[in-house]
Chains A and B, each alone.
Chain A
């Protein structure tokens, strides 16, 4: 009965390996190399406001954080985002096959403001100025004009009540009349403020502007105490989705324009990279040889499982894609060293059972069974840590921490799969399937 189960697993394993080989060799999923290994694209952004207007430091910092989240949504892209001087943000992206798309993503401002327009409803498309970084806006100028162009009839200025940064969640939805709109909920700490505000200003207009352009001008008809509401406008599905996405990832507090884009070379010399990778691979090969020498046949099967581990990990790296930097590669090699752990646990257990005089079939079986509790508990502990790192990284906007958690969790999950399922299937089929023959050649088991 268990032989049948092993054969089914063997088929599943072969299918997974096949899929991984396809992914690794497919030109659609190239290896993404990091800034240190192959350089990339450098984009210098400058605040798109008149030169004499000072930009508060915290607004620049917020903009940096948001740009960094936009280019690194999963946390595994490894960009470099820095504030330069007092009105610029420097972004370096590894590789980049599609620079225009990357730049467009960085630059989208989507500064959403709720402004107090008193008793006045503003028509959609009206340009305004707001008390948040008060000054002329891009909206008032013809496309492509310099920001310092003098404006004959400046737009009226309104008080900013709230910005998109106060939103906790936003998503696009469709009404019964087939209108697309964006529903949002406020951060818990803003709910009370918004309830008070809507209570005091009932009947007045709270106009919603995106990049200083009116998108809707609703009247406050009721007190909003739940902290959630909707933004309507004449949105298409795409517009509603894009707005919701921008609101979720945060809107830039200042408009940015591209000062320059250039290519940057690799930071690490070819030689340093090659030396490190070769040294790491040599270390891994020594570990594999040790496993084979010490555990004989099971060790050989474990070595095969480890190579499959490497292949699967690489396939996931290319599929996501995870950007490979030199530290990421060494981390991966280290995880190969750690992935022997589950195998060692099982094999040591098998040897113990053999030494107690059990037969081969029993020893193999109880080796896996007994070792399982410690493999399970220790790996779950690491996965719990990954989950917490991921959550914190995400909610504090620390994409690097989030990315670390993603890669570590992938490594742990794949190592459990290879060490437990693949090794067990191979050991069961090969050693368990020839137990009588094995009994006469016990040296093959290292016992």
Chain B
């Protein structure tokens, strides 16, 4: 007897919860698309921006340069020192797109810090650091991964009846997680003006890579338990499998999340959005393996999925 005796019977609530979370994300993406033409705000890495090069006649600190840019309304300038022969007090600043007027007023503001070496203020536009080919390759790869993994799971679970369903449910849970982090990025863009950068792409790939692990562990237990052919319904078998693996799922996920939480709370500001995306992705991964993949499998086995199940029974 455990708290999971009635677990999978509540599956309708789990679907509704996932629906609400993903639905909110979709609303935020639509809102962002209508307002900016992008499903989430894209940063300089994806759309390109402006690169400034300046050389002062006297020493100026990075903080002073940063303050000048942020006061001009440029949210997140990336500032690096330039060194070379006869090159002192030179800085390079990458920002979002800045037009000629803004650039001109920035020049005046920078001149107040220290006089510029004549002719050293240059403004150029730079292309995205992450080319479209990278984004396209990543998206195509994730979709193809889903299909291939579906067949891999089908093969790995070939001893159980309807092993295709195990693969399909695991892959649906993976895309569930990806939709959750897409929505998260859109919502954070709306609320706190987060822009999606190159690291987001890494986050998406990480979540896709780890999402299946959890699901497969639970499915493995269902596979093992169904081989034993004990009496009882499929629901009961699934409940038992979930209750037997829940401890492991929690311990593993909590340890990974603990590391992330620690970096999120005490780490540097520059990677917080990245860590937050990973955190939400892992959270969703744990949730979806138990509360999406498993219940979906039960629904499918019991013929509750509208279109597909009707075909099966006909």
- Enumerate chain A interface residues (CB-CB to B < 8 A): 36, 39, 42, 61, 64-65, 68, 80-85, 88, 90, 260-269, 271-273, 275-276, 278-280, 282-284, 286-287, 290-291, 294, 326-327, 330-331, 333-334, 336-338, 340-341, 344-345, 348, 352, 370, 373-374, 377-382, 384-386, 388-389, 391-393, 395-398, 400-401, 404-405, 408
Besides A90-B126, A283-B261, 16 more A-B contacts (Cβ < 8 Å) are A82-B51, A262-B83, A263-B82, A265-B83, A272-B270, A279-B263, A280-B262, A283-B260, A330-B263, A334-B260, A345-B217, A377-B220, A388-B141, A396-B137, A398-B134, A408-B205
With a 10 A CB-CB cut-off, give which of A275, A344, A395 has the most chain B CB atoms. A344
Q: Give the distance in Å from the alpha carbon of A264 to the alpha carbon of B82 in the complex.
A: 5
> B181-217: contact bitstring with A at CB < 8 Å (1 yes, 0 no)?
0000000000000000011011001101110111011
Q: Does B156 contact A (CB under 8 A)?
A: yes
A389 B127 Cβ-Cβ under 8 A:
no
Q: Is the CB of A344 within 8 A of B79?
A: no
What B residues does A280 contact at CB under 8 A?
A: 259, 262-263, 267
- Contact in complex: A287, B255 (CB < 8 Å): yes
Expressed in whole angstroms, the minimum distance between the Cβ of B285 and any Cβ of chain A is: 11
- What's the nearest-Cβ distance from chain B to residue A64, in Å? 7
- Contact (Cβ within 8 A) B201 A400: yes
Q: Which residues of B contact A408 (CB under 8 A)?
A: 205-206, 209
Report yes or no: B244 in contact with A352, Cβ–Cβ below 8 A.
yes
Complex: A18 Cα to B262 Cα, angstroms:
32
CA A378 to CA B249, docked complex, whole Å: 13
In the bound complex, what is the Cα–Cα distance between A379 and B210 (angstroms)?
9
* CB-CB under 8 A for A276 and B221, given A262-B82, A337-B255: no
Given the known A-B contacts A82-B128, A381-B216, are A396 and B133 also in contact in the complex, defined by CB atoms under 8 Å?
Answer: yes
Chain A, Cβ-Cβ closest to B92: A264
Residues of A within 8 A of B202 (CB): 327, 331, 400, 404
| Contact of A389 (CB < 8 Å), options: B205, B224, B244 | B205
Write the nearest CB–CB distance from A398 to chain B, whole angstroms.
4
Instruction: Tell me, in angstroms, the Cα distance from A282 to B267 when the chains sit together.
Output: 11
B201 contact set on A, CB distance < 8 A: 400-401
- Segment 223-281 of B: residues with Cβ below 8 Å from A: 223-224, 244, 247-248, 251-252, 255-263, 265-271, 274-275, 278
Let me know if A261 and B259 touch, CB within 8 A.
no
Q: B271 touching A326 by the CB < 8 A rule?
A: yes
Determine the interface band of chain B, counting residues with CB < 8 A from chain A. Answer: 35 or more
**Which one, B4-12, B110-118, B143-151, B295-303, is touching chain A?**
B143-151
**B259→A276 contact, CB < 8 A:** no
Interface: B54 (CB within 8 A): no
In the complex formed, the residue of A with least CB distance to B272 is A276
The answer to whether A276 and B51 touch across the interface, beta carbons within 8 angstroms, is: no
Compute how far the CA of A391 lies from the CA of B142 in the bound complex, rounded to whole angstroms: 12
CB contacts (< 8 Å) of A377 on chain B: these are 153, 156, 216, 220
Q: Given A373-B220, A374-B220: A267 and B78 within 8 A (CB)?
A: yes
Inside 8 A of B140's CB, which chain A residues have their CB? 392, 396
Most buried by A among B78, B202, B214, B268: B268
* Interface status of B37 (Cβ within 8 A of chain A): no
CB distance from A256 to the nearest CB of B (A): 15
Give the distance in Å from the alpha carbon of A276 to the alpha carbon of B260 in the complex: 10
Q: What is the CA–CA distance of A261 and B133 in the complex, to the nearest angstrom? A: 27
> Which B residues are CB-close (under 8 A) to A396?
133-134, 136-137, 140
Q: B81 to A265, Cβ gap below 8 A? A: yes
Residues of A within 8 A of B265 (CB): 279
Binding site for A on B (CB under 8 A): 48, 51, 62, 78-84, 87, 92, 124-131, 133-134, 136-138, 140-142, 144-145, 148-149, 152-153, 156, 170, 198-199, 201-202, 205-206, 208-210, 212-214, 216-217, 220-221, 223-224, 244, 247-248, 251-252, 255-263, 265-271, 274-275, 278
Q: Does B129 lie within 8 Å of A80, measured CB to CB? A: yes
Contact B259 A401 (CB under 8 A): no
Residues of B within 8 A of A272 (CB): 267-270
Other-chain residue from A61, A327, A352, A379 in contact with B127 (beta carbon distance below 8 A): A61
Q: In the complex, A36 Cα to B80 Cα: how many Å?
A: 9
| B267 adjacent to A384 (CB under 8 Å) | no
B274 to chain A, nearest CB (A): 6
Q: Which residues of B sit under 8 angstroms from A286, Cβ to Cβ?
A: 258, 262
CA distance A42 to B53 in the complex (A): 13
15 contacts between A and B (CB under 8 A): A278-B266, A283-B260, A327-B274, A334-B278, A344-B252, A381-B153, A381-B170, A382-B210, A389-B138, A396-B136, A400-B130, A400-B134, A400-B198, A400-B201, A404-B205
A267 engages B80 (CB within 8 Å): yes
Docked complex Cα distance between A374 and B145 (Å): 19
- List, in ascending order, chain B residues with CB within 8 A of A336's CB: 259
CA separation between A66 and B271, bound complex, in Å?
29
Q: Using Cβ atoms and an 8 Å threshold, which residues of chain B touch A90?
A: 51, 126
Task: Looking at the assembled complex, report how far the CB atom of B256 sits from the nearest CB atom of chain A, in whole angstroms.
Answer: 4
B259 and A334: CB pair below 8 A?
yes
Q: Which residue of B lies closest to A390 (CB)?
A: B141
Q: Which B residues lie within 8 Å of A290 (CB)?
A: 255
